[in-house]
């Protein structure tokens, strides 16, 4: 056991040194900090609004129960009745063609097809228009989705899509006030616009714009005037645009080529205009293009004849950029009837609606699980977790744990206010440590790990940590939940849910399950550099008498960013070799993939966060617990007598020892052998 004790000590040192530094990120992550900082004011504002309106007669806030409403639709009426068994979740979307983001959301085939193909079966969508053109908007939206559904033989979904010809301002229910008071900024909110001025114009010309996607385009428009210069189709560099914004036609080469050419020409930014009759598109990179980061802002707009005329006449044209506030375009109602924000749509696709609706499904399912019988021990009830101290609680456990074979952590991370804008930025690691017997071998073992949901306050999850029941080795335990000291406060709640799974087995069978009785600490992580594996030596261990099963239990996450994106965005593999021959390996295949973490929304990954929550990561996702990795290794061990077994851990990148040339990343790992009898 002395070996495992020293491992434990090392584990604690590593954790203290590296709890997490999300600031050590790929460059593309950094620019959000500027943007996020500018949002702090709106967060403060939201809180005061929430306070003022917290009375029942005020505007409903997220989390309030949605009141009943009826809205006329093209095919009759949409009726929302709280508590109706069949209600499922509802997404309300208010369209306005003043937003280029929404124009693109509605014109991109991939966006429409994602809605008709992937809207969860429990969800309905009510489409509204904010404008006087609501009748033609409703007919147009219905036609677009009907066509998309018919093309893909997705007829069923149409019965769950409802189109209202009544404009938002004439609805006469709570929807308008929620849309207007939940106003927000960011990707799917506000009206992003371009302002042109020229000599002889009485008024500026103001048009909607859609900015290119930020994860490859680093630049942002400044708060000043630029000069606009015509540069044709931009398929060749054009020295005349140096220091100006280039005005380019679409087509003849990719958006990326245009922007790259203008970057080479030292332009300050790029405006691409759609050919007449074409919609505004989202300018993005394709394939290998995405490996090159470009440093200048770019947007797409509609062709503006007065601008072309002025440029062709040799008149100077100035351009600047603004965002005019708008109402929110989305409201969610979850399956329990609670109002919910829909979060950030990072780019124009209805996939973000689907992801939020998937999360409503996950959450409804979680509620059912939380209704199952269990002995519930509250640890934190809406406690602030911040600073070095984190959140700490001393808790009495049930006097006899031997009747339980299951321990679930029911944890939630919410925010100081009801709005997501009050939530802290960044995806930091949160760790739960427990110490019961201060002199025992298990004091300050990591019991659970989560990652915060970047600017979203809806996360709640249940994690099965049953194999670690033996670390609760005294009746009074101290629980400490921590994130990095510089993170803004999160509000944490945590319940321990003890149960005897064999008693709640629905089939009524009372098969005796094996129970964990001893936990042996193995390895912890550390700096993922060339000598990462040098510090791991084989551990010899006997299997205690009467053991019936041995399990490997490991919680592993990769963080930081070397030149390969390791360990957050690179594919690492983690190997536990037993007795020199039996290899058990976990590979973080989806790390760095564009949509890896969207696949985990159905498992509870909070969708539509700020930041780049969609990318796959090294063993984790934003707004999700870290899954313990469990392997039954009984068959790989010598169980009988005094035979000694060995285990050795190593971690690889690309099948080899890591060998970063700069800023190595790091691995946070807790690993154990669990002995059952
Ligand atoms: C939206 O606006 C664009 C240009 O401003 C126009 O071409 C398009 O027809 C409009 N769409 C709808 C549905 O009104
Ligand atoms: C363009 O902006 C500059 C700097 O603000 C200003 O001096 C100039 O008059 C503007 N020109 C036009 C055509 O608006
Ligand atoms: C595309 O290239 C052709 C040939 O160089 C040119 O005539 C045409 O104007 C370009 N199209 C656009 C949209 O710029
Ligand atoms: C762009 O700027 C760089 C650095 O100032 C300069 O070396 C280069 O010649 C410029 N290129 C053009 C096309 O103006
Ligand atoms: C399983 O069920 C039996 C019979 O009800 C009970 O005595 C036992 O404690 C349960 N086992 C565990 C591990 O909870
Ligand atoms: C419960 O017992 C019945 C009858 O012995 C058996 O058919 C069934 O598979 C068992 N179910 C489980 C979950 O073990
Ligand atoms: C790897 O990191 C560890 C811990 O920071 C350090 O002690 C060691 O010298 C580093 N190895 C190399 C090759 O840089
Ligand atoms: C664990 O592995 C052993 C040996 O391979 C096997 O006999 C046993 O059924 C497994 N136990 C469980 C719970 O899967």
Where along the chain do its domains lie? 3-187+327-341, 191-324, 372-512, 514-677
pLDDT band at 32 (very low <50, low <70, confident <90, very high): very low
Q: What is the pLDDT of residue 500?
A: 87
Ligand nearest to the CA of 510: 5
Tell me the CA–centroid distance for residue 362 and ligand 6, in Å.
28
| Ligand 1 and 140: CB distance under 6 A | yes
- Position 509 scores a pLDDT of 56
Mean per-residue pLDDT, 35-61: 47
Q: What is the CATH number of domain 514-677?
A: 2.60.120.230
**Banded pLDDT at 52 (limits 50, 70, 90):** very low
Predicted confidence (pLDDT) at residue 56 exceeds the cutoff of 90: no
CATH 3.50.30.30 for domain 191-324: yes
Task: Report the separation in Å between the CA atom of 132 and the middle of ligand 1, taken as the mean of its atom positions.
Answer: 14
pLDDT of residue 85: 61
| CATH match of 3-187+327-341 with 3.40.30 | yes
Q: What does the DSSP 8-state code read for residue 111?
A: H
**Is ligand 8 within 6 A of the CB of residue 635?**
yes
- Asked if the model's pLDDT at residue 661 lies above 60, the reply is yes
Q: What is the mean pLDDT of residues 115-137?
A: 98
User: Which ligand number lies closest to the CA of residue 240?
Assistant: 4
Q: How remote is the CA of residue 662 from the centroid of ligand 7, in Å? A: 12
Q: Whose CA is nearest to atom 3 of ligand 7?
A: 527
Predicted confidence at residue 3, as pLDDT, reads 34
As beta bridge partners, residue 648 has: 577
Residue 197 Cβ inside 6 Å of ligand 2? The answer reads yes
Query: How far does the centroid of ligand 8 lie from the alpha carbon of residue 503, in Å?
Result: 22
Strands of 205-208's sheet in order across: 205-208, 191-198, 317-324, 226-230, 245-249, 269-274, 298-302, 210-211
Q: What is the pLDDT of residue 162?
A: 98
Ligand 3 pocket member 249 (CB < 6 A): yes
Give the confidence band of 214 by pLDDT, cuts at 50, 70, 90. Answer: low
CATH of 372-512, one of 1.10.3720.10, 3.40.50.2020, 3.40.50.2300, 2.60.120.230: 2.60.120.230
Q: Report the pLDDT averaged over residues 583-607.
A: 97
Say which residue, 195 or 36, is predicted with more confidence: 195
**Three-state DSSP class for residue 470:** helix
- Of the candidates 127, 130, 125, the one whose C-alpha atom is nearest the C-alpha of residue 180 is 130
Asked whether 232 and 311 are in contact (CB, 8 A), the reply is: no
Q: How far is the C-alpha of 194 from the C-alpha of 226, rounded, in Å?
A: 11
What letter does residue 486 receive in the DSSP assignment?
A: T
As to burial, measured by CB atoms within 10 angstroms (0-12 exposed, 13-18 middle, 19+ buried), residue 512 is exposed
Per-residue confidence (pLDDT) for residue 240, from 0 to 100: 96
> For the ranges 189-193, 392-396, 480-484, 638-642, which has the lowest average pLDDT?
638-642
Residue to mutate, 503, 515, 516, 677, ligand 5, most ligand atoms under 8 Å from C-beta: 503
Rounded Cα–Cα distance for residues 93 and 350 (Å): 11
The three-class DSSP label of residue 541 is strand
Residue owning tokens 């994860």: 215
Task: Quote the CA–CA distance of 312 and 316 in Å, as a whole number.
Answer: 10
Is there a contact between 464 and 372 (Cβ–Cβ < 8 Å)? no
Supply the Cα-derived Rg of the chain in whole angstroms: 28
| Atom 2 (ligand 3) nearest CA | 252
Query: Which pairing describes strands 269-274 and 245-249: parallel, antiparallel, or unpaired?
Result: parallel
Q: Is the pLDDT of residue 50 over 70?
A: no
pLDDT, residue 553, reads: 98
Instruction: Give the DSSP letter of residue 601.
Output: G
Pair 567, 667: CB distance under 8 Å: yes
Q: How far is the CA of 319 from the centre of ligand 2 (A)?
A: 9
Domains 3-187+327-341 and 514-677 belong to one CATH topology: no
């Amino acid at each position: 056991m002395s070996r495992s004790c020293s491992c434990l000590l090392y584990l604690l040192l590593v954790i203290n040194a590296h709890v997490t530094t999300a600031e050590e990120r790929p460059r593309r992550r950094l620019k959000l900090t500027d943007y996020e900082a500018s949002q702090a004011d709106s967060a403060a504002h939201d809180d005061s609004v929430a306070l003022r309106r917290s009375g029942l007669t005020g505007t409903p806030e997220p989390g309030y129960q949605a009141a009943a409403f009826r809205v006329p639709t093209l095919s009759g009426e949409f009726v929302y009745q709280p508590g109706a068994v069949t209600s499922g979740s509802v997404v309300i979307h208010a369209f306005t063609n003043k937003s280029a983001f929404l124009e693109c959301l509605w014109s991109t085939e991939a966006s429409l097809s994602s809605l008709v193909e992937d809207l969860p079966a429990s969800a309905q969508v009510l489409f509204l228009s904010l404008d006087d053109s609501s009748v033609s908007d409703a007919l147009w939206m219905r036609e677009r989705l009907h066509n998309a559904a018919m093309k893909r033989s997705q007829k069923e979904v149409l019965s769950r899509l409802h189109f209202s010809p009544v404009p938002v301002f004439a609805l006469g229910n709570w929807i308008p006030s929620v849309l207007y008071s939940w106003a927000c900024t960011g990707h799917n909110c506000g009206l992003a616009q371009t302002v042109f001025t020229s000599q002889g114009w009485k008024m500026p010309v103001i048009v909607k714009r859609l900015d290119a996607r930020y994860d490859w385009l680093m630049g942002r428009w400044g708060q000043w005037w630029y000069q606009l210069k015509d540069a044709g189709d931009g398929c060749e560099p054009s020295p005349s645009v140096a220091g100006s914004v280039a005005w380019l036609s679409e087509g003849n080469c990719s958006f990326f080529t245009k922007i790259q050419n203008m970057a080479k020409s030292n332009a300050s930014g790029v405006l691409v205009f759609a050919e007449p009759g074409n919609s505004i598109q989202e300018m993005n990179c394709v394939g290998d293009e995405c490996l090159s980061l470009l440093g200048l802002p770019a947007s797409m707009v509609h062709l503006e004849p007065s601008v072309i005329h002025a440029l062709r006449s040799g008149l100077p044209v100035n351009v600047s950029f603004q965002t005019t506030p708008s109402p929110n375009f989305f409201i969610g109602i979850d399956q329990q009837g609670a109002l919910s924000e829909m979060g950030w749509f990072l780019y124009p696709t209805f996939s973000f609606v689907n992801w939020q609706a998937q999360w409503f499904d996950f959450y409804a399912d979680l509620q059912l699980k939380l209704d199952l019988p269990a002995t519930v021990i509250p640890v934190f009830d809406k406690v602030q977790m911040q600073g070095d101290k984190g959140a700490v609680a001393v808790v009495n456990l049930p006097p006899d744990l031997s009747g339980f074979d299951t321990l679930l952590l029911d944890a939630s991370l919410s925010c100081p206010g009801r709005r997501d804008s009050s939530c802290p930025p960044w995806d930091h690691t949160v760790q739960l440590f427990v110490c019961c017997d201060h002199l025992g071998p298990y004091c300050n073992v990591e019991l659970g790990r989560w990652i915060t949901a970047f600017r979203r306050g809806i996360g709640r999850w249940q994690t099965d940590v049953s194999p670690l029941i033996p670390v609760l080795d005294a009746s009074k335990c101290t629980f400490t939940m921590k994130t990095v000291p510089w993170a803004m406060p999160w509000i944490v709640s945590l319940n321990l849910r003890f149960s005897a799974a064999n008693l709640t087995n629905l089939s009524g069978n009372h098969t005796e399950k094996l129970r964990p009785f001893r936990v042996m600490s193995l390895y912890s992580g550390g700096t993922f550099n060339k000598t990462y594996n040098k510090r791991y030596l084989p551990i010899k261990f006997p299997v205690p008498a009467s053991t019936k099963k041995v399990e490997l239990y490991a919680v592993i996450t990769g963080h930081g960013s070397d030149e390969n994106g390791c360990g957050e965005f690179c594919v690492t593999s983690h190997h536990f070799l037993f007795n020199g021959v039996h290899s058990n390996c976990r590979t973080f295949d989806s790390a760095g993939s564009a949509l890896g973490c969207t696949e985990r929304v159905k498992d509870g990954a909070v969708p539509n966060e700020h930041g780049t929550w969609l990318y796959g990561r090294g063993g984790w996702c934003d707004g999700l617990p870290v899954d313990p990795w469990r392997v039954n290794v009984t068959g790989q061990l010598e169980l009988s007598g005094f035979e000694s077994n060995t285990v050795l851990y190593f971690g690889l990148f690309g099948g080899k020892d890591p060998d970063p040339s700069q800023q190595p990343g790091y691995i946070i790992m807790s690993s154990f052998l669990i002995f059952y009898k």
